[in-house]
A and B are shown apart, each in its own frame.
Chain A
Amino acid sequence: MKKFLILILVLFSTPILSQTLEDAMMINTSGVLAQRMRMTVIAENLANLMTLKDEETGLPYQKKYVVLQAAGLNGVQIQRVERSTEPFGRYFDPAVPQADEDGYFYLPNTNMPNEMIVLKHSESMFDANINAFKLSKAMYQTSIELLK
Chain B
Amino acid sequence: MTGILDLTLVELVGKIKKKDLSSKEVTKTYVERSEKSIKLNTYITEDFKNALQKADNFDNSPNFNKKLPGIPIAVKDLFCTKNLRTTAGSKILENFIPTYESTVTNNIWNEGAILLGKLNCDEFAMGSSNETSFFGNVQSPIGEKLVPGGSSGGSASALAAKLTPATIGTDTGGSIRQPASFTGTVGLKPTYGSCSRYGIVAFASSLDQAGPMARDVKDCALLFGVISSYDNKDSTSVNYKRKDYLRDLSKSIKGKKIGIPKEYRVEGMPKEIEKIWQKGITIAKEAGADIVDVSLPNTNYALPTYYIVAPAEASSNLARYDGVKYGFRAKGKNLIDMYEKTRSKGFGNEVKRRIMIGTYVLSSGYYDAYYLKAQKVRRLIKNDFDEVYKKVDVILTPSTPSSAFKIGEKANDPVSMYLNDIFTVPINLAGLPAISIPAGHDQNGYPLGLQIIGKAFDEQNILNTAYSLEQEIKFKNKINDWWM
A, B: real partners? no
A residues within 8 Å of B by Cβ? none
